[in-house]
A and B are shown apart, each in its own frame.
Chain A
Amino acid sequence: MNFLNRLAALLLLAAACAAPAAADDLLMARSDLMYPEAMMVLQSAIKAQGYTITRLQQVNENLAKRHYKSDMYRVVFFGKYDEVKALAASHPELIPYLPLNITIFAEGNNAIVLTAHPRTLEEFFPDPKLKPIFERWEADMVKIMDTVRESK
């Protein structure tokens, strides 16, 4: 019975791991910097990849208005005009995923930044024409994350 239990657990584990639930679909990085400095590094890194920042979405301020406590929390939206315009025209179903964004929040004396791996979009939108775009976004996001992680 014990063997059967273990076998059942092993099969369940295999099934769970085989499911499309890989949480390493998230790109995350911790910065040793305090939130304000990390936010500056993040914005600078985004711009260095040729993107324009379109909006800094406040989150903690909106929570505070309703008396909920949270440390500093922002969502940074960014994109490239020509790219967004072209994609919206050729692939309107991609619009809900535009522009790109990265979340940043304070964690004590550090800051955490995260976003979804753009490569995940390949699975959502399998058009081969989009593949090089998603791959470039992936490379850009990795560079941005590395910059934030390695800034001291």
Chain B
Amino acid sequence: MIDRAIALLALLVLGAAPALAAPDGARLYSQNCAACHGENGTGGIGVPLALPSFQATISDDYIRKTIINGRPGRVMPSYKALNKDQVEALVRYVRSWNKGKAVTYSALPVKGDPKHGAQLYAEECASCHGADGEGGRGTGVTFSRPRDLPIMAPALNNVGFLASATDAMIKRTLVEGHEGTPMVSYIKKGLTEQDIDDVVSFVRSFERSPLPHNTASLAAEKPVIIRQSPYDLKTTVANVTQAINNNNFFFGRAQPLEYGLVAPDKADPHQVVLYFCNISFLNQALAIDPRVGMFLPCRITVVEHNGKVQVMSVNPKVLSRLFNNSELDVLCDRMQRSYIAIMEEATL
């Protein structure tokens, strides 16, 4: 009997082994990538991975390193939690869209003149990729909002990009372009191979001066902004409402924290949430990152607890880091200052 149980257990373990040994790339893609890149790799928030011209110029190693490194500050996260087998399964799945011959690239640097490359870059590349290689703006613009292009110009100065793309891959992209995107073939546009080597050499020089990524300084920030109010609850609510209007926001509504959870007359009146918005600012934020709904609408809560009245809100600067979007960091910094201005005016 015990022998049979052991045999059955062994059979179960053996039966499960292939599944454990071979992660399902399609499932991993659906769970981790599809939200941004589309279920079929057609893009959206992220790059259209299935685009044939894109697949033609990338290597397995580029995908692998991109998954691991991400693009700090440019939405694409680093999937550090995935193990090696899972990463390989994802690489195979993404590369299954490649109908051409798989390319591999030499890791050797391309030799060129970065000074001449800088000149060519300014003339030919900066209009899309930014003067300092910072990439197209609106890293999180999706098809849910007005958008003309299927892809945002990558940030070439991004440490994740520079660690993932070899010189040879950048060179081939410049030579062939990406049909279906604004990235044209620069050989067809008239550059010589030496010109292209010079541009590659300049792009590689971004490694010496990548843009700072400000998340490291966030450790000192607290997740909640709190100010003590010297006034009673009713006066403080009125003050916050006035301060909202004074700081260029329109006041939406005030409601108890327990709104919707219990009958209105049963809700605790000592926790009042004030909702407000600046639509122009909202539109700007959504253009930079459509995922900012988590912040919406702006809200400040007035709480009377143990006889003290406090005004509090989330700290947008702390939440911003969840998005890995350096453009959004700038807006959240502004949002934090607005929250503080409102709270301090109301509790002055």
Contacts A59-B293, A68-B279 given; indicate if A17 touches B145 (C-beta within 8 A): no
For chain A, the count of residues having a C-beta within 8 Å of the partner chain is: 71
Q: Which of A30, A96, A99 contacts B35, CB < 8 Å?
A: A30
Question: Which residues does chain A contribute within 8 Å of B80, judged by CB atoms?
Answer: 17, 22, 24
Question: Do A23 and B277 have beta carbons less than 8 Å apart?
Answer: no
Q: Which of B31, B44, B142, B210 contacts A12, CB < 8 Å?
A: B210
Which one of B50-58, B130-138, B311-319 is at the interface?
B311-319
Q: Chain B 272-296, CB within 8 Å of chain A: the 1/0 string?
A: 0000010110110010001101101
Size band of the interface chain B makes with A: 35 or more
Q: How many A-B residue pairs have CB under 8 A?
A: 215
A41 to B: closest C-beta gap in Å: 15
A106-B290 Cα distance, complex, nearest whole Å:
10
Question: Which residues does chain A contribute within 8 Å of B210, judged by CB atoms?
Answer: 9, 12
Q: Which of B144, B291, B318 has the largest number of chain A CB atoms within 10 A?
A: B144
Question: Which residues does chain A contribute within 8 Å of B260, judged by CB atoms?
Answer: 52-55, 77, 99
Q: Chain A 68-107, CB within 8 Å of chain B: the 1/0 string?
A: 1111111101011100110010001101111101011111
| Chain A, residue nearest B275 (CB) | A57
A23-B144 Cα distance, complex, nearest whole Å:
21
Question: Which residues does chain A contribute within 8 Å of B36, judged by CB atoms?
Answer: 28
Question: Do B323 and A26 have beta carbons less than 8 Å apart?
Answer: yes
Question: Which residues does chain B contribute within 8 Å of A59, judged by CB atoms?
Answer: 282, 286, 293, 296
Q: Chain B 56-76, CB within 8 Å of chain A: the 1/0 string?
A: 000000000000011011011
A19-B217 Cα distance, complex, nearest whole Å:
9
A118 to B: closest C-beta gap in Å: 12
| Chain B, residue nearest A87 (CB) | B257
Question: Which residues does chain A contribute within 8 Å of B78, judged by CB atoms?
Answer: 17, 22-24
Question: Do B261 and A54 have beta carbons less than 8 Å apart?
Answer: yes
Interface hits, B6-38 → A, CB 8 Å: 30-32, 34-36, 38
Question: Do B303 and A30 have beta carbons less than 8 Å apart?
Answer: no
Which one of A42-50, A108-116, A130-138 is at the interface?
A108-116
Residue A129 CB within 8 A of the other chain? no
Question: Which residues does chain A contribute within 8 Å of B70, judged by CB atoms?
Answer: 17, 23
Q: Which of A10, A19, A108 contacts B144, CB < 8 Å?
A: A108
Given A29-B35, A88-B271, A107-B144, 20 other A-B residues pairs in contact with their CB atoms under 8 A: A8-B208, A12-B210, A16-B159, A16-B215, A24-B81, A26-B291, A29-B31, A55-B259, A57-B296, A70-B283, A72-B144, A74-B293, A92-B305, A95-B271, A105-B293, A107-B143, A114-B35, A114-B293, A114-B294, A125-B223
Q: Which 9 A-B pairs have the closest CB atoms?
A: A54-B260, A103-B293, A23-B324, A23-B77, A21-B215, A124-B223, A28-B35, A9-B207, A16-B72
